[in-house]
Amino acid sequence: MQRTSGLGAFLRSRRGQLQPQDVGVNPVGARRQVPGLRRKELAQLAGVSVAYYIRLEQGQSHHASDGVLDALARALRLDDIETAHLHNLAKPARARRHEPHPELLRPQLRAMIDSFDTVPAYIVGRRTDALTWNRLAHALLADHLGYNAPHDSAESRPNLTRLLFLDPHQRELYPDWNRRARDAVAALRRSAGHFPDDRDLLSLIGELTTLSEEFADLWAAHPVGECGSTAERYHHPLAGSLTLGEEVMRLPTDAGQRLVVLNAEPNSPSTAALQLLAATHRRGCPQQSSQNCGCGALGCLATVAR
């Protein structure tokens, strides 16, 4: 039911975003009560019967061919990522995966992240949990949280989408918060299409829909996207303003996991700001004589002792 209802909602959302004149349809008949293409118009553009399209949108047809889906994607002017999402949603029930296994971080990946000592780097999972981060990423993104939070237990992992919508620190961190929020929802929507049987992912979506009106509005709009290369602006309370290139790479042997690395232009003010952030956290450990310190400060003597 999750896939078929998701398919219908996605088709309705994209149909509602297209005006007849956008796709060369000459609207005729009575005055339109709702914006967007009518079902009949979309069916004609895609070359399928109106009755078949209605069944598909209502979740009553579970065996749409690739050819039909591609025709609908062309009629709706979907991009490659949206088209792949459409195919994912239309997979028949027998092709669905079972509840995915709990996300585990390979020790080699954590060691790799720890080796990045001059740039922020972290790994995010299919539910947008921070599975690990290096000390500079922690200092930049969430230094109000414990450094070891991703590692203590699966339940303690910071969820980056939850933080973005519910944590006031994140509101201040991203000057382009509205764009960042839309991109985050688009990526989460794509992940939900890939992992429709992930109960924790569905629970997260339900939680955010309940607690954040902004998330609920964005989710209802059905954006679908892929995190990739971008430039992100930050305003950090200690380091000030930074612009960092964000590179996101999927890890092919770790389903749904992505490596994120942030870089500043050489000799730029952002490079200086990162250096300031690193230096501040080297001085910032409140328990430099304690071997149990979890502050995550860069260069912390307790960290070195561990």
Q: What integer pLDDT is reported at residue 18 of this predicted model?
A: 82
Question: Is 101 domain-assigned?
Answer: no
* Sequence-ordered list of residues with C-beta below 8 angstroms from that of 60, at least 6 positions apart, any chain: none
Same domain, 147 and 285: yes
Mean pLDDT of 45-58: 86
70, 95, 120: which is the final residue of a domain? 95
Pair 190, 146 in one domain: yes
Q: State which residues form the domain around 122.
A: 107-305
- How distant, in Å, are the alpha carbons of 74, 88, 188, 293 from that of 99? 32, 16, 17, 37
Same structural domain, 142 and 263: yes
Q: How many domains does the chain have?
A: 2
In a domain, 37, yes or no: yes
- In whole angstroms, give the CA distance from residue 224 to residue 86: 10
Neighbours of 11 (CB within 10 A): 22
Among 142-151, 191-200, 238-247, the minimum mean pLDDT is found in: 191-200
pLDDT tens profile 101-134: 778 899 999 999 999 988 999 999 999 999 999 9
**In the chain, % of residues over pLDDT 90:** 42
Instruction: Return the pLDDT at 287.
Output: 41
Mode of pairing for the β-strands spanning 121-124 and 230-236: unpaired
Question: Of 30-34, 38-42, 134-138, 285-289, which has the strongest mean pLDDT?
Answer: 134-138
Q: 146 φ, ψ to 5°? A: -70, 140
Pick from 95, 125, 142: which residue ends a domain?
Answer: 95
237 burial class (0-12, 13-18, 19+ CB within 10 angstroms)?
Answer: exposed
Residue 70 and residue 121 share a domain: no
Mean pLDDT (the chain, rounded) = 82
Whether 213 and 258 share a structural domain: yes
Phi-psi region of 77 (alpha: psi -120 to 50; beta: other; left: phi over 0): left
Strand order in the sheet with 130-133: 130-133, 121-124, 258-263, 240-250, 230-236
- 199 and 267 in one domain? yes
pLDDT for 28:
57
